[in-house]
Chains A and B, each alone.
Chain A
Amino acid sequence: MLEELQRLEPFRAEVRGWLAANLPSDWRRRMLGASEADHVAFQEWWFGKLMAAGYGAPHWPAEWGGSGFSFAQQIVLYEEIARAGAPRLIHYFVALHHVPGTLLHWGTHAQRERHLPAVLSGKEIWCQGFSEPNAGSDLASLRTRAVRDGDHYVVNGQKTWSSNAHHAQFCLLLARTDPAASKSRGISYFILDMKTPGITLRPIKQMTGASHFNEIFLDDVRIPAENLVGPENEGWKVAQSTLSSERGLSILELAERMKQGFALLLADARVPGPDGVPYDDAETRRRLVDIHVRIEALRVLVNNQLGAVLRGEALGVAPSIVKLYYSDLLRDFTRLGASIRGIESQHLEDVLMGGPNETGYWMQDYLYSWAWTISGGSSEIQRNIIAERGLGLPREPAAA
């Protein structure tokens, strides 16, 4: 892995130079407390800049408009973007990762033609319609129904925790097409146009004050049959492609951003809030080192996962170990930030739109960190996976 990355030093310098010249130095100021509309426009502008430079879709094949970068090049690019403190392309996450990961494997040519170029134009934001009020970790128990009616499916149900659905033009939707089949069988996968009649959105206000995710109510929503992705009743398999579509690069970016965030935490630690814990306090220093050491541990775990990808090896439970490690660490990290700022951190501050998970507004960061131990497979689910598939422990018996 080292040699491969060393060969890419000229590429790294090129990316670094481009970021220095093109990343607006005041983007944090502009996006602090920005309106949703301004944030959407800014994300679209930044994505457009990245696309023009060839950095917007590094993992997409060239035939579909991507850069077709090697995995090692992608590693370098993600590292540099994180180290430059560039905005996260949060509006495009589903579109850039889940959409190609799904459609390139399962989609029809028409579906690819229709959607992939549009994603790269920056005009299509996508969201995910997987979780339901009664189907989170136990996703396969989802109850939203899709019933075939001529050349359409008629969908009724409710989705939740759908990030950026209020900005999205399309949704990757899971719905049950065969209620008689056992849980994970009988689910189908659809592309849902968010302008279809019968869709009602309700943004959910989070405890941070922001509203990133939404409930989606579906009442007699008619989806054309050509929007079915993969075979009917095989949606669970299709969803596995969606969920495994990014191979560690996001967590690499997050780990590198966390390292940058730690410098911010140190700076704050030197000038604590009026009742925050003082920097020269031995306990504070011990806690700071604990975070520092765990960030290093996270980085070696991430690098080993990336190394396995580069060598073409099966990843096994490595992604679960890394995700679990990251989310535990993020919570402790941001909690320490809140301790250091003291009562000041309790003031509700503006949200840094598109910021990292360590914006330096520590109480918000801390509150949001709880999302990380729940979303994308809760910590408990990750532990089940590692226990059963990694340590070879027996499965806990299913509920009667």
Chain B
Amino acid sequence: MDFELSEDQHALVSALQAILEDHSQIPQSARFDSHWCDTDLQAQLEDMGFLDAAREIGGLEGALVVYETARVIGAVETIGRGLVAPIACPGLELSGPVALARRDGLHLAIRNLPIARMLLIEDGADVLVLDLADGVVEPVETILAYPYGRFAAPPVLDDARRFVGAGEAMRKWWRVGLAAEIAGAASAAIDFTVDYVRTRKAFGRPIGAFQSVQHRLVQRHGYAKAAYYLAMRAAWSGTASDAQVAACHAQSGLKELLFDLHQFNGGMGMTNEHLLHFWIYRARALQAEAGGPTRAALAIAAARWDDGLSEPEERHLSMARS
């Protein structure tokens, strides 16, 4: 299988990139903030139907929207609204950002909760859908790149709609979305750093001319490329195991990515005056939500090998899935 996009997918991505280009600058007022929600872009994506791509076209198209939007500097909510909710909860009417949480995590700070109209709650085999009334959420100040909030009081779930049997789909597409968004943030952070090391000079030459910098950037580039392809494969195949692999891989390379990119951006990379943190903290937040690479790895081990049997036979056309 390879991920050469079809003509329609190319058209979707090109149209989306044209819009994203208009959102490549951060307003001066938000320049030094730890995060900035691009509400205009969020509304545009909603109005123009990009967040309905997963439902109307397919999971791969939904994942492409997640990946591409993760590359811009302003945060938008795409995983819940654009991927998880439309696929896991067919028929659910959607409008505006959707936050995601686990039933046992409702007391925690939840990503995107302050801007969300709706919360999807993974509840074992099922999914609960909770409409969010004004005033039930209080914002939580963090340095992570998204708005976080928690419930002012434990939410009452009696009125929540239950999607019976949707739990597995929610877990799966949540993982796909996290993998795609991490891959997008990682690739944008690498591009930003490549631009920086091309122009920043030391000892009379761009620091990107030193192999000590080049070689580490190449390693990170390889990681980000593989993360993208694995996320797209998972979105295409829709299997739980591909989603686990994609989410695990996306998280596994982050430690080196963060270290190297900060290192190559020098002291400026540690400041809010530089833009690097917008993507780096985004990746960190997504990794935290995904549970971390070790937990992801142990979950894969449990899913694949605890039956005491050998590695399952790969489907015959594994190579040819496309």
Contacts and interface: CB of A to CB of B under 8 A. Distances in A.
B305 A1 contact: no
Interface residues of B, number: 48
Interface in B269-300: 294, 297-298, 300
Interface stretch (B14-22, B26-34, B103-111, B218-226): B218-226
B298 A282 contact: yes
A29 interface: no
Contacts of B194: 391-393
B3 A289 contact: no
B298 A387 contact: no
A257 B30 CA distance: 52
A262 B320 contact: no
Contact of A307 (B2, B206, B300, B301): B2
Contact of B319 (A294, A303, A383): A303
A256 B314 CA distance: 11
B130 interface: no
Interface residues of A, number: 55
B211 A288 contact: no
Contacts of B298: 282, 285-286, 289
A79 B310 contact: no
Nearest to A8: B320
Given A6-B320, A282-B298, A300-B233, A393 B209 contact: yes
A391 B300 contact: no
A89 interface: no
Interface in A357-390: 380, 382-384, 386-388, 390
Interface in B143-160: none
A290 interface: yes
Nearest to B321: A2
B217 A391 contact: yes
B10 interface: no
Interface string A263-306: 10011001000000000001001101110111011111101101
B8 interface: no
A1 B206 CA distance: 41
- Which of A2, A3, A266 is the most central at the interface, judged by chain B CB atoms within 10 Å of its CB? A2
A331 interface: no
A1 B252 contact: no
Interface in B53-77: none
B208 A1 contact: no
A397 interface: yes
A390 B310 CA distance: 39
Given A285-B298, A297-B226, A1 B249 contact: no
A169 B320 CA distance: 39
Nearest to A289: B297
A9 B197 CA distance: 48
Nearest to B297: A289
Contacts of B225: 301, 321
Nearest to B195: A392
B248 A324 contact: no
Interface of B is mostly: helix
Interface in B185-229: 194, 197-198, 205-206, 208-211, 213-215, 217-219, 221-222, 225-227, 229
Given A286-B294, A383-B214, A79 B319 contact: yes
A304 B297 CA distance: 25
Contacts of A294: 249
Contacts of B217: 387, 391, 393
Contacts of A262: 311
B113 interface: no
Given A5-B317, A383-B214, A394-B209, A290 B310 contact: no
A114 interface: no
A289 B294 CA distance: 9
A293 B248 contact: yes
A332 B143 CA distance: 35
Contacts of B230: 293, 296-297, 300
A336 B186 CA distance: 28
Nearest to B210: A396
Nearest to A16: B316
A290 to B, nearest CB: 6
A293 B227 CA distance: 10
Contacts of A289: 248, 297-298, 300-301
A354 to B, nearest CB: 24
A266 B218 contact: no
B321 A266 contact: no
Top-6 shortest CB links A-B: A307-B2, A2-B322, A387-B214, A5-B320, A297-B226, A289-B297
Interface of A: 1-3, 5-6, 9, 12, 75, 79, 256, 259, 262-263, 266-267, 270, 282, 285-286, 288-290, 292-294, 296-301, 303-304, 306-308, 311, 321, 324-325, 380, 382-384, 386-388, 390-397
Interface of B: 1-4, 194, 197-198, 205-206, 208-211, 213-215, 217-219, 221-222, 225-227, 229-230, 233, 245, 248-249, 252, 294, 297-298, 300-301, 304-305, 308, 310-311, 314, 316-317, 319-322
28 contacts: A5-B319, A262-B311, A266-B310, A266-B311, A267-B310, A282-B298, A285-B305, A289-B248, A290-B252, A290-B297, A293-B245, A293-B252, A293-B297, A296-B249, A297-B229, A298-B226, A300-B3, A303-B1, A304-B229, A306-B2, A307-B4, A321-B222, A321-B225, A393-B208, A393-B209, A394-B205, A394-B208, A395-B209
Given A390-B221, A392-B198, 15 more contacts: A1-B1, A9-B317, A75-B319, A79-B319, A266-B305, A266-B310, A292-B245, A301-B225, A303-B1, A304-B229, A386-B222, A387-B208, A387-B217, A396-B209, A397-B205
